[in-house]
Chains A and B, each alone.
Chain A
Amino acid sequence: MKIRVQGSGFGVQAVSVIIILLCLASNVYAHKVSIYAYAEDGMVFSEGYFADGSRSRNSRVEVVEAETGKKLLEGTTDDNGRFSFKIPGVASLRLILHAGMGHQNDYTLSREEITEAMEKGPEAGDQGPVVNRRETEDNPGVSVPPAAVPGVSPSEIEAVVEKAVDRKLRPVLRILLALKENSEKPGITEIIGGIGYIMGLMGTAMYFKSRKAK
């Protein structure tokens, strides 16, 4: 069969390349690594993931002081891409994730977050095993400073409140994390937009070349 295409010699090429890509692009995946971290109970919990949602396993995480760049410690992520460590001191911490082959990203925890997690740390220990705060996000609005309430001990109130809030917030947190991961995936808008830019550049280049030719 002979196909005839008028105009630019690249008509067929364009169509064939685009068809091939569309067939393959059933799953839009990316090639970018991210790290997310939060501080709690005197510990820092971090998680590394690629833009397609898969975890960054066995990757080196370097912890440095954000202001000075001084290296404090380093470690590797586990099979779930997680890495946690005890807060080395009150300072703004930057976690740098090295996923190998030139992939790298970082996440900075502010001094306030660290300070708060340090303050809460020992208290949580005093309360015993009542509180399960493993999954809690470090949220300044949630932490209730122990106030003197007659009759009930402050730590008891805090424990109950924490537990309830934890339960309520867990699904919300999960949704937020999923949204965050999703927002880092390139969407159809970016893809079409990028192709549009290239076509625009092509038009501009052709316009100037055609003027020169005249």
Chain B
Amino acid sequence: MHISEGVLSAPVLATGALLAAGGAALGLRKMDYERIPGVAVLSSAFFVASLIHVPAGPSNVHLVLNGLAGILLGWMAFPSILVALSLQAVLFQFGGITSLGVNTVIMAAPAVVSFYLFGPLIRRGHIMSILGGFGAGAAGIGIGSILVAAALVSTGESFAGVAKLIVAAHIPVMVIEGIITAFCVTFLKKVKPEILEVAK
């Protein structure tokens, strides 16, 4: 899901950087003192998650955990993911410095979307919170892959073709992420329900 350096054209990179900066600024405004450790923990989780490889046919896909970050952090997912992606770019050479903005938007925007779509669900009953967690995890990846396809259109590939390919490659990850996110949400609800409540 990380777009490498030198793939995208300058206007796409600039748009991505602007959107990412805006999202990060908004997230930082919402981040008060008590929320800082949570943002950092999810940033670390996101940072490591990309090293977990999921075999999916000929392609190479990995966990992202942006749905989990989104459902717990809301807009604060932007700064959290931005930090993790910068470190991945520098330390692992995943993605790249110039494509940092685009990659942040690709992974943080679905996180915010799943926060609004599934956030209310996880605060309801047991079954609802499992469904909400699964939905957030799956939507994080699903919407992310569509955004990757949209970004790649600028390189001259046809949207429908790339989108189909990328979404198909990420279906296994969507399922796995859904399960992991649902598990995390139910676990947190049991032992530390106030974490889910504060996320606003």
Which residues of A are interface residues toward B (Cβ below 8 A)? Answer: 3, 5, 8-14, 16-18, 20-21, 24-25, 27-33, 50, 52, 54, 57-58, 100-106, 184, 186, 190-191, 193-195, 197-199, 201-202, 205-206, 209-210, 213
- Which residues in chain B, 82-106, are within 8 Å of chain A measured between CB atoms? 83-84, 87-88, 91-94
Range class of the B interface residue count: 35 or more
Residues of B within 8 A of A8 (CB): 34, 37-38
Q: Can you list 20 A-B pairs with a CB-CB distance of less than 8 A?
A: A5-B191, A10-B37, A12-B188, A13-B188, A21-B49, A24-B52, A30-B50, A30-B51, A30-B92, A50-B60, A100-B165, A101-B165, A104-B5, A106-B6, A190-B91, A201-B83, A202-B37, A206-B37, A209-B32, A210-B33
- Kindly provide the distance from the CB of B192 to the nearest chain A CB, expressed in whole angstroms: 5
- Is B38 in contact with A10, judged by CB distance below 8 angstroms? yes
- Kindly provide the distance from the CB of A101 to the nearest chain B CB, expressed in whole angstroms: 5
Residues of B within 8 A of A213 (CB): 33
Q: How far is the CA of A58 from the CA of B7 in the complex (A)?
A: 18
- Is A30 in contact with B94, judged by CB distance below 8 angstroms? yes
Q: A9-B195, A102-B8, A191-B48 are in contact. List 7 more A-B contacts (CB 8 A).
A: A9-B194, A16-B191, A18-B44, A31-B61, A198-B44, A209-B32, A209-B36
A17, closest chain B residue (CB): B45
Residue from A5, A31, A210 within 8 A of B192 (CB atoms) = A5
Residue from A5, A50, A105, A194 within 8 A of B87 (CB atoms) = A194
- Is B41 in contact with A14, judged by CB distance below 8 angstroms? yes
Residue from B41, B68, B148, B187 within 8 A of A101 (CB atoms) = B148
Residues of A within 8 A of B151 (CB): 102
In the complex where A13-B188, A29-B53, A198-B47 touch, is A206 in contact with B7 (Cβ < 8 A)?
no
A17, A29, A101, A193: most-surrounded residue (chain B CB, <10 A): A101
- Is A195 in contact with B44, judged by CB distance below 8 angstroms? yes
Residues of B within 8 A of A102 (CB): 2-4, 7-8, 148, 151-152
In the complex where A31-B53, A104-B7, A186-B92 touch, is A199 in contact with B48 (Cβ < 8 A)?
no
- Kindly provide the distance from the CB of B87 to the nearest chain A CB, expressed in whole angstroms: 4
Task: Answer yes or no: B122 CB below 8 A from chain A CBs.
Answer: no
Residues of A within 8 A of B91 (CB): 186, 190, 193-194
- Is A16 in contact with B7, judged by CB distance below 8 angstroms? no
Q: How far is the CA of A32 from the CA of B51 in the complex (A)?
A: 10
Q: How far is the CA of A102 from the CA of B165 in the complex (A)?
A: 12
Residues of A within 8 A of B4 (CB): 32-33, 102-105
- Which residues in chain B, 16-66, are within 8 Å of chain A measured between CB atoms? 31-34, 36-45, 47-53, 58-63
A20, closest chain B residue (CB): B180
- Is B83 in contact with A191, judged by CB distance below 8 angstroms? no
Task: Answer yes or no: B171 CB below 8 A from chain A CBs.
Answer: no
Residues of B within 8 A of A21 (CB): 45, 48-49, 52
